[in-house]
Amino acid sequence: MRRLMVALVVLAFSVGPAVTLAAEEQSPTSGTFSNAGRLAEGRYMHTATLLPDGRVLVIGDQANGGGYRASAEVWDPATATFGPAGSLAEARDYHTATLLPDGRVLVIGGWAQSAEVWDPQPPSTTE
């Protein structure tokens, strides 16, 4: 058993440099950054959730000077702008935001001990 362990360790070390060398021979790819607009509020400890239509929902954060925010914003890649996305019932940070199959976003936890659902479609108004 000990010989098998030693053989596996030797094999791992002998394969390692070859894999690294092959990766080093390839040209690295690099991207570029461009301006994507400006948030209405600086955020820390927030979530960003990619929506099915390509927009990004940004929820909650820990405000400067303490406390938490209940605000949310949506970034639109077509216009590179942020817009309001309503307000949470409870301010949050350290939360999760999960895209649901129907396009809504489930927001759970953080310092708030509750869950909320954000709907990208505003309620219809019938007269």
For the stretch 65-90, pLDDT in tens is 677 888 899 999 999 999 999 999 99
- pLDDT-derived band of residue 17, with 50, 70 and 90 as boundaries? very low
Is residue 106 situated within a structural domain? yes
Structure tokens of 125? 């108004």
Is residue 124 situated within a structural domain? no
Residue 83 domain boundaries: 47-118
Reply yes or no on whether the pLDDT at 5 is more than 50: no
Is residue 29 situated within a structural domain? no
Is residue 98 situated within a structural domain? yes
- Cα–Cα distances (Å) from 35 to 26, 57, 77, 79, in that order, read 29, 18, 11, 11
Supply φ then ψ for residue 16, to 5 degrees. Answer: -50, -55
pTM of the model: 0.70
Structure tokens of 100? 């649901």
What total number of domains does the chain contain?
A: 1
Report which residue type is found at 71: S
Write the pLDDT tens digit of every residue in 19-43.
Answer: 344 445 555 677 898 888 898 888 8
Is residue 32 situated within a structural domain? no
Is residue 54 situated within a structural domain? yes
Reply yes or no on whether the pLDDT at 18 is more than 70: no
Is residue 53 situated within a structural domain? yes
